[in-house]
Amino acid sequence: MIVLGIESSCDETAAAIVADDRRILADTIFAQIAEHTPFGGVVPEIAARAHLDHLDDTIAATMRQAGLGFEDLDGIAVTGGPGLIGGVIVGVMMAKAIALAHGKPFIAVNHLEGHALTARLTDDVAFPYLLLLVSGGHCQLLVVEGVGRYQRLGATIDDAAGEAFDKAAKLMGLGFPGGPAVAAAALGATAPYRDLPRPMKGRPDCNFSFSGLKTALRQRVDALRAEKAFDDATRANLAAGFQQAVVDCLIDRTRHALKIAKAEHPNLSALVVAGGVAANQHLRASLIKSAADFGVALVAPPPRLCTDNAAMIAWAGIERLRLGERSGFDYAPRPRWPLDEAAPVLAGAGVKA
Ligand code: KG4
Ligand code: ZN
């Protein structure tokens, strides 16, 4: 089975072709960084227009790279939500058009399911596993029991982890996207700040919160600026301190979730990390240790497949298509689409998913 995947739910215009034997035949990502950099964050309307401008070429380049025509495909998979609705609509319309014109199955995929199942594309991980999904839009811990079977153990009550990195970078004047900028600045630290808060640490649930940490950072930056002491060295020390605080929070919550998941699923196969923040080397190193402490392996897909991409959408499409599923051409894009529909809705922006 060979499937074309299309992703356009945030600021990456992406297409990929994946085979059911787990080969990625082509994988193209057009990152709209130049479009959004002047605004220090993703502007939904600009993103939707950029998807319109670039999706055609992105798909054509992907087909060329794989040396395939549409007639060679066994299905078209597309992110059907959750995400910025303008972009999702662009992708869904394109996928429907290709599927209709070429008489191919069409399947709308949950973007989060794409992240959740990537470890099966890259490492053939068996169910059940614990997933830490940390990106700009999402921050949750889920037990992945099967395709379409998710138990959410915790999620953020305010910002997502990547969003916290992005806001922190903006506060410190470090540029966009924030995660890599904070990580790069932290490399120059000589005396990282150690006294930033670790919200939710030790709490009996598995939820996250980052707004208090962000406020603490803002107060620190404001005070340093007022004292005219916010120089490059201080910025590096603050960046390192902030990164450490976020990693500590993620590790504390993940260890708690590992304990719960292991008790409920003694056959838990792995701890999987996905989403853009999984590219953070500091976090990866700490997660390896935590997973080992609980007797499971850490599976971390390569960074290119951790951030938004279309290979994960094609793969999730394959997982669903080979179970005999497909979507109707009346499918309506969804701005919100939780993986665990039974879990209570939390209020934060980071839980739009
Ligand atoms: O998965 P992704 O590409 O898009 C979303 O679905 O949100 O994740 C992007 C997020 C951004 O917030 C970015 O700052 C963060 O991932 N990120 C990082 C790193 N690389 C990307 N955060 C921390 N450290 C990194 N190295
Ligand atoms: Zn994502």
**pLDDT, tens digit (0-9, with 9 covering 90-100), for 60-119:** 999 999 999 999 999 999 999 999 999 999 999 999 999 999 999 999 999 999 999 999
Question: Whose CA is closest to 283, among 332, 247, 315?
Answer: 247
The finding on whether 32 has its CB within 6 A of some atom of ligand 1 is no
Residue 37 has pLDDT above 70, yes or no: yes
CA distance 83 to 256: 28
Q: Tell whether pTM > 0.85.
A: yes
Question: Mind listing the pLDDT tens digit for each residue in 141-199?
Answer: 999 999 999 999 999 999 999 999 999 999 999 988 899 999 999 999 999 999 999 99
Per-residue tokens: 338: 């939780």
Query: Counting ligands in written order, which one lies closest to the CA of residue 134?
Result: 1
Buried b (16+ CB within 10 A) or exposed e, 321-347: beeeebbeeebebbeebbbbeebeebe
| Ligand 1 geometric centre to CA of 181 (Å) | 10
Q: To test the ligand 1 pocket, which listed residue (307, 308, 309, 352) has its Cβ within 8 A of the most ligand atoms? A: 307
d(CA 109, CA 317): 6
Question: In the chain, what percentage of residues exceed pLDDT 70?
Answer: 98
Task: Please give the number of the atom of ligand 1 that sits closest to the Cα of 166.
Answer: 14
pLDDT of residue 353: 43
Measured N-to-C along each axis, helices 161-171 and 211-226 cross at an angle, to the nearest 10 degrees, of: 10
The closest alpha carbon to 146, from 121, 116, 111, belongs to 116
Q: Give dist(CA 109, CA 116) in Å, integer.
A: 12
Q: Which residues contact 293 (CB under 8 A, 6 or more apart)?
A: 255
| DSSP reduced 3-state for 25 | strand
The bound ligand whose nearest atom lies closest to the alpha carbon of 114 is 2
Residue 210, CB-side half-sphere exposure with 13 Å CA sphere: 33
